[in-house]
């Protein structure tokens, strides 16, 4: 592999525009979807690697006394590496005590994208974020306004919830079967999801799964 330097990596990744990249919003913060970031890295630095650091018990969650935790991800391009951390958040975008598997998995992928920002990839999206979370609201604080999800946002959340099962497909037929079951469960939600929205998400699923399998094959 040709040796790369931190300056070369930054010069390559920091100039890539995020205008046409797939993103998602959570707690008022816009995140680049992890597969979109992965696709860009595979285009420019396909040799890059990543790992989620384990605690002394071999778990990917690093807990604190208040039962909240963070995840830690190390990304490397050749001999250049960065390690970043990210709290495991709940729905209110604050650290979640005793988080579930979905919340941990989501934090891991966002932490991976955050690590890529330290190489320069979409670093501007993290530049204006506060270094500390706001203090927890007190009884005197006004109650936050209720947030109503649009059908499309609810569909995206439901997709994330079932991502692990969908991405465990082992063949084309298995992929089709898993997606058919997912579509049926979406229709059972009885929300205003259009066929066009489902078709768009199905296309995204096929592309993401194809890229994932390609990456897994390349690592063998």
Assess whether pLDDT exceeds 70 at residue 191. Answer: no
pTM above 0.85, yes or no: no
pLDDT tens-digit profile of 21-63?
A: 877 776 566 778 889 999 999 999 999 999 999 998 899 999 9
Distance CA 45, CA 51 (A): 16
pLDDT tens-digit profile of 115-149?
A: 999 999 988 776 654 444 444 444 444 444 444 55
pLDDT, residue 127, reads 61
- Residues in contact with 30: Cβ distance below 8 Å, sequence separation at least 6, in sequence order: 23, 24, 125
Contact between 96 and 88 under an 8 Å Cβ cutoff? The reply is yes
pLDDT, residue 138, reads 43
pLDDT, residue 41, reads 94
pLDDT tens-digit profile of 72-91?
A: 999 999 999 999 999 998 87
pLDDT, residue 24, reads 75
Query: Mean pLDDT, to the nearest integer, of 196-212?
Result: 84
Distance CA 170, CA 193 (A): 28
Contact between 34 and 65 under an 8 Å Cβ cutoff? The reply is no
pLDDT, residue 162, reads 74
pLDDT, residue 87, reads 92
């Amino acid at each position: 592999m040709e040796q790369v330097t931190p300056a070369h990596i930054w010069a390559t990744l920091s100039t890539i525009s995020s205008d046409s990249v797939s993103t998602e919003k959570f707690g008022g913060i816009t995140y680049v979807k992890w597969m979109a970031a992965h696709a860009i890295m595979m285009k420019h630095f396909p040799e890059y690697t990543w790992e989620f650091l384990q605690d002394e018990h071999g778990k990917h969650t690093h807990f604190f006394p208040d039962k909240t935790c963070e995840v830690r991800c190390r990304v490397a391009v050749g001999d250049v590496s960065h390690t970043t951390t990210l709290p495991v958040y709940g729905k209110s975008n604050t650290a979640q005590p005793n988080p579930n598997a979905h919340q941990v998995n989501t934090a891991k992928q966002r932490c991976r994208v955050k690590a890529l920002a330290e190489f320069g990839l979409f670093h501007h999206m993290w530049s204006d974020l506060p270094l500390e979370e706001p203090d927890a609201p007190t009884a005197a604080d006004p109650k936050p306004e209720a947030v109503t999800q649009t059908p499309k946002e609810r569909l995206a959340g439901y997709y994330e919830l079932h991502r692990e099962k969908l991405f465990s497909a082992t063949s084309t037929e298995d992929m089709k079967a898993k997606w058919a079951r997912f579509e049926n469960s979406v229709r059972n939600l009885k929300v205003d999801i259009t066929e066009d929205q489902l078709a768009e998400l199905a296309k995204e699923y096929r592309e993401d799964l194809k890229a994932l399998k390609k990456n897994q094959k390349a690592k063998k």
